[in-house]
Structure 1
């Protein structure tokens, strides 16, 4: 252990990098209370922000990080060398204080990253391992915090901005809103998302597409397939043109479009549930009849529009 590190733990200073140690300890207490389930995430963030607000910015966060590395290495040496237990505990306390200096209450992105790391570890350890049980409790706590996140979808392990690109899909009847599980399935099976899908496997607990999401394709097809079959057959068979035009007119009614959006809205964050890009449905009338092959292409790819960059109410 370096002499300056030894001196640091033998005579703990009243200030660390300009911040009073009692304040740092109070910040650390909030973190422990949150992970113990004694306060919720919103309270942790609010109280953490209030405690930090009066303090000046750290002059050099890099110096804090470097000191944290040195103290951590000293703690590891103390553990390996079976040295004074008091030294090891003092080093562990100092590690925490240095970490709290540079790590405010986590954002959703930081929690999502932590959850991904924890779930990867959970898959590597025995379910009876004490560490696994501890990690499992932490993972469930973070999942609870992120359940209502407007940024991340835990079921797919992807950002909502990625899943949201499939809110509307291209079909033989034009633009059709998608159920959230169908959007998840399309996002997870799109080769363009392969890197994100691989990185998010731990979060959803499945290397591929979970069965409940994979089954969504059938439900999505039921949303419009009866209309498509009836319309195609009516227009194809002589003497049924009027029926075909009536079916197409019914499909194209704004009320039908609104109903389809309502039917598929469950599970979507509000900004996606209510989003209508205004893309056309199938043409009506004898001169405008078109029956196209069904496609699972996301509307936003087909029209070169990316929902993640679109303005949403």
Structure 2
């Protein structure tokens, strides 16, 4: 029996349980099936790497020791787990490395980033936090949620529809153990993302919102600073290249011939949206780094120090 889940604006009917939000009153857009997947990609697909091949409607991926996946005609994902694989790891790749390219092929714009809503003096700021892998997108999101009363909209994948509106993800945030300890998170709200990895799903609960809306600030996180935090605004057409670099699995989208539609969607989603660079200090003092970044961000948004708006009551 399939379970129906809603995530990123589509309904998934899955033959195995997922950690995404359940729905009962909507018809599925995508079917996830446990089925045989060939060990080699179909010959008509174009190779992206030794483990991935793609067209504009199909996608084959082999994650060694986890599973093979085949996306067929934009509405079916066949999954064949390896015999020793755990289903948490299978789900992790399914909802990220597989669903991300599929949503791109379905003419959504998928950015590699997090979306949070930050309310200051009654005004909501909808932020897209982007940057290269391991720069701290989820970690800084966790800080804003834990310390500054922000709410999560999406983690890791930020999916925008044809109107430039971001679609909500799942009420959990993937964070490393050292970050959870620095923020003193409740261990009861944490579960391992997958076995033998010091990374956890932080179950956000009521700090998650499913409201769909456009973002009003793009924050490109960088890790170039020694012990200071700097904000740099990117103006005009100079925004285009940095934004294109944040497309999830950009090389997959290019191979699938999606560059033109993504150019249009970037314009719709961010044409009038400010873009800034926010440098993350290299210091090992995690909480101190985030506090400096938070202060700089709040000052940019409000011209007030962070302490004037923090309220955890």
For this structure pair, what is the TM-score category when the shorter chain's length is used for normalisation? under 0.3
Q: Tell me the TM-score normalized by structure 2.
A: 0.26
Structure with the higher helix share, 1 or 2: 1
Structure number with higher strand proportion = 2
TM-score of the superposed pair, with normalisation by structure 1: 0.26
Bigger Rg, which one: 1
